[in-house]
Amino acid sequence: MAQASLPAAIEAPTSRGAIGFKFGSEGADLRTPIIAGNWKMNTTLSQAISLVKELRDKLDRIHGVDKVLCPPFISLAAVKELLQSTSVGLGAQNMYFEEKGAFTGEVAPNMVADLCQYVILGHSERRQYFGETDALINKKVQAALKAGLKPILCVGEKLAEKEAGKTIPIVSTQVRGALIGIPTPPGLIIAYEPIWAIGTGKAATGPDANSTIGAIRQIVSSLYGKEYARGVRIQYGGSVTGANIAEFISQPEIDGALVGGASLKAADFISIVEQTAAIKKAS
Ligand code: PGA
C-alpha cells in the first residue's frame, strides 16, 4: 500500500514538468504499444464471428503492437476459439468485483479471466449511464488484478471540466480513486479518453493528449515510483480512426489507442494497428 504514505505530490500540475521531472520519450522503448478495439454494445454473435474472421489473420501478421479485441460478453467464448494460436488478445468491456453468487446479470472476474487477458474498467459510458464511481471502479480494478487480468482503466474529463481548466485534477482524482489501496499493479493499462471526444468525431489534438497523458504518468509515478511509471502503458481514446492515429501515436507519451467506432470497421482497425507498428518502430 505504498501510496498511503506518499505526499500528495500532484495537486494540479498544468504541464508535464509540474512536479519536477519530465518523462518525454524516456521509457518509451520499454512500452509495447497497445491498440484495443472496444466494440461496445454492437455485433450479434454471428456478426462478431464475421468481424473476427476479417481481422484475425491480418492483425496476427503485424508485429511490435499488442492487439486486443473487446467484443460483448456473449461473444467472448466464440471469439476466444477463433483467436486460438494467434497473437491477438481478448478483453471484456466490464465485470463485477464479487467472486460469485447472487448478483443476477453480472459477470465475475474469474469468468472473464477464463476467456480473456484484459478487461476495460471505468469506461465513461459505465460512469455516465450506470453510475459507476471511483470507489466501485477501485473494487473492480482490485478484483481484476486478483484474477490475473490486465485492467484497461479509463479516465477522462467532460467538456465543461476541460473548459474550466480542470482536466488534470479530474483525471488525477480518477486515477488515484481507482488505484487507492492497491499495491503496484502488474499489467495495468490506462486509457485517457476525454468524454467530449468519445463517439463525436472530435478527437483531442496529439499534443494535448500527449500533455495530459504525461501528467497521468506523473500521477502514476507519485503512486508507484518513477520506474513503474516509465513502463506503464497509457492509451489515448476518443474518435481515433485510421485518418488520425498517426497524430497520436507519434507522440512520445502515447502508447496506443482504445478505439470504439473505428474498431468495428475491419479495414480501419487494421490500418490503425499497421500505422502504430510502423510509427513506433521508426521512433
Ligand atoms: P470512439 O470510442 O472511438 O467511438 O470515440 C472510444 C471509446 O469509447 O473507447
6: number of Cβ within 10 Å: 12
**pLDDT tens digits, one per residue of 43-92:** 999 999 999 999 999 999 999 999 999 999 999 999 999 999 999 999 99
Query: What pLDDT, on the 0 to 100 scale, is given for residue 21?
Result: 52
Nearest residue by C-alpha to atom 9 in ligand 1: 260
How many whole angstroms separate alpha carbon 276 and alpha carbon 213? Answer: 17
State whether residue 241 is helix, strand or coil. coil
CATH code for the domain of 167: 3.20.20.70
Structural domain span for residue 127: 38-282
Q: Cβ atoms within 10 A of the Cβ of 58, count? A: 17
> Does 2 fall in a domain?
no
Flag whether 274 is in a domain: yes
138 lies in a domain? yes
With respect to residue 22, please indicate whether it lies within any of the assigned structural domains: no
Q: Is residue 129 part of a domain?
A: yes
User: How high is the pLDDT of residue 18?
Assistant: 40
Percent of the chain with pLDDT over 70: 92
In a domain, 264, yes or no: yes
Phi, psi for 148 (deg, rounded to 5): 85, 15
pLDDT of 179: 98
Q: What is the DSSP letter of 67?
A: E
Ligand 1: does its nearest atom lie under 6 Å from the Cβ of 109?
Answer: no
pLDDT-based confidence at 204, cuts 50/70/90? Answer: very high
Cα 236 to ligand 1 centre (Å): 10
Nearest residue by C-alpha to atom 6 in ligand 1: 260
Domain-embedded: residue 158: yes
Is a pLDDT exceeding 90 seen at residue 162?
yes
Confirm whether 240 is domain-assigned. yes
Q: How far apart are CA 137 and CA 141, in angstroms?
A: 6
Interatomic CA distance for residues 217 and 19, integer angstroms: 11
pTM to 2 decimals?
0.92
**What is the total count of domains within the chain?**
1
CA 219 to ligand 1 center in whole angstroms: 24
Answer whether 260 contacts ligand 1 (Cβ < 6 A): yes
Give the pLDDT of residue 26.
74
Split at pLDDT 50, 70, 90, the class of 22 is low
Name the residues annotated as catalytic: 123, 193
